Amino acid sequence: MRVLGVDPGLTRCGLGVVDGSDGRRVSCVAVDVVRTPVEAPLERRLLAVGAEVERWIALHRPDVVAIERVFSQHNVRTVMGTAQASGVVALLAARAGLPVAFHTPSEVKAAVTGEGRAGKEQVTSMVTRLLGLAEAPRPADAADALALAICHCWRAPMLDRMAQAKARSDELAKAHRARLAAAAKAAQR
């Protein structure tokens, strides 16, 4: 499975592509950060992020796009920019026919480091080690994008199994309700 991980942002948007194989083996395909100038109009910044994401989708042909789920911060302006960049990425992935998965920062940290409250340096260190990189990806947005991709590689099989189990459970429950209704109807005769 090839995953494009995106750490959304307007000033810096991290992009990382990871290949995941059976088990927990992962390898880095590419990593970079899209930067936009703070003084540029919002629509131009979103356009720049979108153009680079589109280019990466065409170039690296991921199977899925994993995006960090926006969480509430004290700075509303920052959260709005992050949410807008996230929306652009999700739209472009959908336009390319790719599924989109959202992971919270704590899910990503827990998957990569074993600790949901790990710091940026710990995440960067583990990403570097897990991918066998010669040097740590910088800035942290690049490491976070790779961490998102790794997280998805490892969580996707479990999430698929859980969805299949729920679907099977729903089928069994529906069949059971039908049998109960039939028994109740038969008892009324």
What's the confidence (pLDDT) of residue 155? 85
Q: Which two structure tokens, joined as six digits, stand for 69?
A: 């789920």
Q: Which two structure tokens, joined as six digits, stand for 72?
A: 């509430």
The partner residues of 16 in beta bridges, in order of sequence, read: 5, 31
What's the confidence (pLDDT) of residue 73? 62
User: Domains in the chain, please, with CATH?
Assistant: 2-161 (3.30.420.10)
DSSP line for the chain: -EEEEEE--SSEEEEEEEEE-STT-EEEEEEEEEE--TTS-HHHHHHHHHHHHHHHHHHH--SEEEEEPP---S-HHHHHHHHHHHHHHHHHHHHTT--EEEE-HHHHHHHHHS-TT--HHHHHHHHHHHHT-SS--SSHHHHHHHHHHHHHHHHHHHHHHHHHHHHHHHHHHHHHHHHHHHHHHHHH-
Q: Average pLDDT for consecutive 10-residue bins of the chain (189 residues)?
A: 96 97 89 97 97 98 96 76 96 98 95 92 96 96 97 81 82 92 89
Q: Which two structure tokens, joined as six digits, stand for 6?
A: 């995106």
Q: Is the pTM of this model over 0.75?
A: yes
What's the confidence (pLDDT) of residue 21? 83
What's the confidence (pLDDT) of residue 148? 97
DSSP line for 87-107: HHHHHHHHHTT--EEEE-HHH
Catalytic residue annotation: 7, 68, 141
What's the confidence (pLDDT) of residue 165? 87
Cα–Cα distances in Å, from 30 out to 33, 53, 103, 166, 182? Answer: 11, 13, 20, 35, 58
Residue 4 and residue 97: Cα distance in Å, rounded? 14
What's the confidence (pLDDT) of residue 167? 83
Residue 91 and residue 166: Cα distance in Å, rounded? 28
